[in-house]
């Protein structure tokens, strides 16, 4: 019991850096391919341009043995990177150091057949406008 209490206390003390606070995720009812297609269409549907698609799952699977790992983290995982000129200007005019959060990303991941769509959680303040944009895009992709 003490061990669980200590673990819970450490998780609370970790605060915003804790894993659960770092990302907002939603389950996707469909295949990885369907989810990536839906996310791509939702981003483009907002009039945004996808700058890059990072095939993170493929890289992790390809390099696992090279770094001494046997654990398979994802069946597949992609991250779509893009920016919004309007929202980026707005948040960077509020604080130029918000440049650290750009570009914005939405990920699609398949963990053992469970497909999810998500994005990084952003700090309170002006960056909540970015989070609202990402939330809207993800909701479009889920529908």
**C-alpha closest to that of 85 among 105, 70, 112, 104:** 104
Question: What is the per-residue pLDDT across 35-60, written as a single tens digit (0 to 9) for each?
Answer: 999 999 999 999 999 999 999 999 99
Q: What fold, for 21-142?
A: TATA-Binding Protein (3.30.310)
pLDDT at 128 over 70: yes
Question: Rounded to an integer, what is the distance from CA 114 to the centroid of its chain?
Answer: 16
**Beta-carbon contacts of residue 68 (< 8 Å; ≥ 6 apart):** none
The shares of helix, strand and coil residues in the chain, as percent rounded to the nearest 5, are 55, 20, 25
Distance CA 24, CA 133 (A): 13
Question: What is the per-residue pLDDT across 83-111, written as a single tens digit (0 to 9) for each?
Answer: 999 999 999 999 999 999 999 999 999 99
The pTM (predicted TM-score) of the whole model is 0.83
């Amino acid at each position: 019991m003490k061990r669980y209490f200590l673990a819970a206390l450490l998780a609370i003390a970790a605060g915003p850096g804790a894993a659960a606070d770092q990302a907002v995720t939603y389950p996707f009812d469909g295949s990885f391919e369907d989810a990536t297609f839906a996310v791509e269409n939702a981003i483009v549907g907002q009039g945004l341009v996808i700058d890059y698609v990072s095939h993170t799952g493929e890289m992790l699977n390809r390099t696992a043995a090279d770094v001494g790992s046997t654990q398979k983290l994802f069946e597949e995982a992609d991250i779509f990177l893009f920016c919004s000129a309007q929202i980026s200007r707005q948040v960077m005019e509020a604080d130029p150091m918000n440049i650290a959060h750009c570009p914005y990303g939405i990920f699609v991941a398949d963990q053992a057949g469970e497909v999810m769509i998500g994005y990084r959680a952003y700090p309170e303040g002006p960056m909540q406008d970015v989070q609202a944009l990402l939330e809207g895009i993800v909701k479009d992709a889920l529908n």
